[in-house]
Structure 1
């Protein structure tokens, strides 16, 4: 009786198992194929740590402030005029303007008072920085249709001028000058009005009051 040789069949049965094991060894490793993080280059590291630059500006120097004088209406009141002229005046009216004489031009801060149907009085205050043409000083007013004479006896002033119209109605101007400011007192009377007192002395009293207040 002959025995069958069975080992070749067993070997054949094991072949698929070995093949499967071989396939598992050839599969790619997910962990091995993941891209690794790269360290930043020196240039990138420097850019990341570099702080943003801030623009700096040099402090600008401001021009020196011009001499500032008080407003004309802060230097005199209607009651002050009433004491000087013996007339009751209405409320103050602030204003300003520019005067041109010969080669000079200057600005002024003005304050006007009116006694109805009698007279209007305007006080003008000018400082050195208000001269826009020419040099600050005590210029002589124009003599057109008027009489002009020096007025160097005004308390508080170093120089001055008195100007009065040469025909009615009376229009007069006193210019009182100091080292720091010029004060002008203008009087314009209504036609046909008989004024009391001496307009020149009254204007000088008003100008002195303003000059004293400018001195503080």
Structure 2
């Protein structure tokens, strides 16, 4: 499981991190405003599953399907699911954004992905956009991306410059992606950018809709 956060294990096997707890409320506020009251959500790169459990509990009208290619992550997601007792939190899929053979057929009303594009090869971001084009309902399906991004028109915050350097030192294929490159991939899949929202700690929420 790729994560740059400090992670602790709870007694039941669920993994937790201060970063996930810290940003959940801000992300949830955006999702609550833009997701349908009823429907289905696929989460790519769910990591520990802490967000999945939090959002499924707060949005009971949505069936939330988490996923992660990491066995460790899926074990943690299962522990969060058991702990929550939620009926709308589905078993985690072994979805790898870079491997189309692992993708579900859908359709889903929304696809949510946080903090994946910068800690994976560019091929994973390309796959994520292909996945969105394949599984989201048309018209009006929502793709929601959260994380740090580069923007040509906005100077990169010093903390994100240091973060980008750190990522590339760990793996040259990692690093902050340019928002306009993300939007180009999205448009190629029939996804139109509808919202760019500044989030705490120099992150962005990027929303796209199928047409």
TM over 0.5: no
The structure with more helix, counted as a fraction of residues: 2
Larger radius of gyration: 1
Q: Normalized against structure 1, the TM-score is what?
A: 0.28
